[in-house]
């Protein structure tokens, strides 16, 4: 089949196949980059949630300390938050 083709046709066919291969690799790479971007965005959201949870975890202990100190020192009026 390829023996009857002219050299210009074979070269054009090879160039087209090479271009197709490059486009395929570029498409796969772009898909991977998009997936990584989604994973990174998800990670940022989880980080923000974790920071809020960490900040909120100490609020109860801090409030208890303020109220307990006021009660111990007989300053109940200062213990109202």
In degrees and rounded to multiples of 5, residue 75 shows phi and psi of -120, 60
Which pLDDT score, from 0 to 100, does residue 32 have?
Answer: 94
pLDDT in tens, the chain (81 residues): 566 778 888 899 999 999 999 999 999 999 999 999 999 999 999 999 999 988 888 888 888 888 887 778 776 665 555
pTM for this prediction: 0.52
Report how far apart, in Å, the C-alpha atoms of 54 and of each of 43, 50, 58 are: 16, 6, 7
Which pLDDT score, from 0 to 100, does residue 26 have?
Answer: 97
Which pLDDT score, from 0 to 100, does residue 1 have?
Answer: 57
């Amino acid at each position: 089949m390829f023996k009857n083709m002219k050299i210009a046709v074979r070269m054009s066919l090879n160039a087209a196949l090479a271009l197709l291969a490059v486009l395929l690799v570029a498409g796969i790479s772009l898909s991977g980059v998009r997936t990584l971007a989604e994973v990174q965005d998800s990670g940022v959201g989880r980080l923000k949630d974790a920071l809020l949870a960490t900040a909120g975890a100490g609020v109860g202990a801090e409030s208890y300390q303020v109220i307990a100190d006021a009660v111990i020192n007989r300053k109940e009026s200062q213990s109202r938050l």
